[in-house]
Amino acid sequence: MIEETIARIEARLKSAESLSDGNRKELQALLATLKDELQALSRTDADQARSIAGFVELTTHEATREEKQPELLQHSMRGLESSVYGLEAKHPKLTELVNSFCMLLSNTGI
């Protein structure tokens, strides 16, 4: 399921006209690393990994949609940030990746 979600996010990033080539490449690189981290997390906490992947997908959707709704992007980013809350000690790289992903998406022009 995580791989399917990541595939949808990759497709969304690839087709998003609102992203510069530089932002797109950076997000794709973060997503590739995030995929590895989520697969590792899924071995010990599959529900949490699915939740994080779902929030990444939602946040990507809100950041790249044609008709921007900044309040929905903010809600989705808060959900994503909350989904990794408490994982800092055991999964610091995952937490760092999610924070970087959120920062980059929030800086895409909204």
Give this prediction's pTM.
0.91
Indicate the domain borders of the chain: 2-6+31-106
Percent of the chain at pLDDT > 70 equals: 98
Conformational region of residue 109, where left means phi above 0, alpha means psi within -120 to 50, and beta covers everything else: left
Average predicted confidence (pLDDT) for the chain:
91
Distance CA 89, CA 26 (A): 25
Measured from the Cβ of residue 19, the count of other Cβ atoms closer than 10 Å reads 22
Task: For residue range 29-54, list pLDDT tens digits in order.
Answer: 999 999 999 999 999 999 999 999 99
Task: For residue range 59-74, list pLDDT tens digits in order.
Answer: 999 999 888 899 999 9
